[in-house]
Amino acid sequence: MTAVLKHELSGYFHSLTAYIFSAFLLAFVGIGAMLYNIQSAVANFEYVLSFVCLGFVIVIPILTMRVIAEEKKQKTDQLLYSLPIKTSEVVAGKYLALLLVFLAPLCIVCVYPLIFAQYGEVYLLTSYGSLFAFFLLGAALIAIGVFISSLTENQGFAAGITIPVILLNYYSVSLAEHVTATAFGSFAALCVFAVVIGVVIRFLTQNENLAYGISILLIIILGVAYFVDSAKFEGLLPDIMTKLSLFERFYSFVNGVFDLTAIVYYVTVIIFFLFLSVQSLEKRRYN
C-alpha cells in the first residue's frame, strides 16, 4: 500500500492535477472569505465553508476522474494486479493519496480563522469543528468519485458522472420539497432504487441470478410492507432524500452543533464506496 501511495503522490505533484485542485479550492475559499468575512464583516468563518461546498462540484471530479480510469485506459492496472498486494490495499493507497492532496490546501485554509481572529472576534471552536466536518465531507465525496472512476476507462465520462451525482446530493434537500410525498409514490421510487441496486450488483459480480434475486427480494419486502401499512410510506421519499444528503449534515457543524451521527455517516459512506471500488477492480482482475 505504501508503494502505491508514494507512486500516486508523485504522479499528482509531478503533474498539474494537485496544483489545479488546490488552486480552485483556495480560490473558492478566498472568494468566500472576501464576501463574508471582509466585505460583510461577518466573524463566522464557517459560513465561508458552507459557501465553498458548491465548489466540490468542480474540484472533486478534477481530483478523482483519473485515479482508476486512467489506469484502465493505459492498461497499467494489469501491473497493479501483478503486485504482491491485495486489491483493497491498492484502493486504500490511491484513496489516501487523494486525501493528502485534499489536505494540502486545507492546511493553508486552517490559518484563515487565526488571521481573522487578529482583527475581530472569531468563533475558533466552531470554525475548526466546521473545518473537520468539511474534510470528512470532502473525503466522502472523494470516495464516491473513486468508485465512479473505477467503473470506466474514460476520464471525461468519470468526471461527467461525478458532477451530476454531487449536484444531486447537494440539491437533494431542495428537491425533496418538490417530489411526491404520497405513499404509492414513495413505494414506486423505492422499487426503482431496488432495481438500481440489482444493476450495480450485476455489474460488480457478473452474477445475474444474484442481482435479480436481490432486486426481486427487495421489491417483495417493500410490497409486503406497503400492503401491511401503507401509511408508513407517506412522506418517506422526501425524508430519505434529506437524510442521504452529505451536505445537510455538514450544515449542523456550521450552525455550531457537533453532530456525532454525521461523522458516523461520513465514515460509513467512505467505507461503503471504497468497498464497491475494490469489488469493481476485483471483477476486472478475474475477467
Give 15-79 as a DSSP string.
SSHHHHHHHHHHHHHHHHHIIIIIIS----THHHHHHHGGGHHHHHHHHHTTTTHHHHHTTTHHH
Look at residue 258 and give its three-state secondary structure: coil
Question: What CA–CA distance (Å, rounded) separates 257 from 238?
Answer: 23
C-alpha 211, offset from chain centre: 25
Question: What CA–CA distance (Å, rounded) separates 214 from 41?
Answer: 55
Q: Could you tell me which residues come within 8 angstroms of residue 190 by beta carbon, excluding any fewer than 6 positions away?
A: 222, 236, 237
Q: Provide, rounded to the nearest whole percent, the portion of the chain with pLDDT above 70.
A: 92
Q: Could you tell me which residues come within 8 angstroms of residue 127 by beta carbon, excluding any fewer than 6 positions away?
A: 44, 45, 46, 113
The predicted pLDDT at position 227 comes to: 86
Give residue for cell 485542485. 21
Look at residue 244 and give its three-state secondary structure: coil
Residue 19 identity (one-letter amino acid): Y
Dihedral sign of CA atoms 93, 99, 102, 107 in order: negative
The predicted pLDDT at position 116 comes to: 83
**Which range among 16-20, 28-32, 55-59, 233-237 shows the weakest confidence by mean pLDDT?**
233-237
For 133-186, what is each residue's pLDDT tens digit? 999 999 999 999 999 888 888 888 888 888 998 998 888 878 777 777 788 888
Q: Provide, rounded to the nearest whole percent, the portion of the chain with pLDDT above 90.
A: 17
Question: What CA–CA distance (Å, rounded) separates 281 from 287?
Answer: 10
Question: What CA–CA distance (Å, rounded) separates 256 from 254?
Answer: 5
What value does the mean pLDDT take over residues 108-119? 87
The predicted pLDDT at position 285 comes to: 61
Residue 62 has pLDDT above 70, yes or no: yes
The band of 265, judged by pLDDT with boundaries at 50, 70 and 90, is: very high
Give residue for cell 460509513. 268
What value does the mean pLDDT take over residues 5-21? 82
Phi/psi of residue 177, nearest 5 degrees: -75, -15
Residue 263 identity (one-letter amino acid): I
Question: What CA–CA distance (Å, rounded) separates 131 from 114?
Answer: 13
* CA proximity to 118, closest of 48, 57, 46, 43: 43
The predicted pLDDT at position 194 comes to: 85
Would you tell me the crossing angle of helices 124-149 and 246-254 to the nearest 10 degrees? 170
* CA proximity to 177, closest of 251, 245, 254, 269: 245
DSSP 8-class letter at 103: H
Question: What CA–CA distance (Å, rounded) separates 118 from 279?
Answer: 50
For 116-140, what is each residue's pLDDT tens digit? 888 777 788 888 999 999 999 999 9
The predicted pLDDT at position 79 comes to: 64
259 within 8 A of 252, measured Cβ to Cβ: yes
Residue 197 identity (one-letter amino acid): I
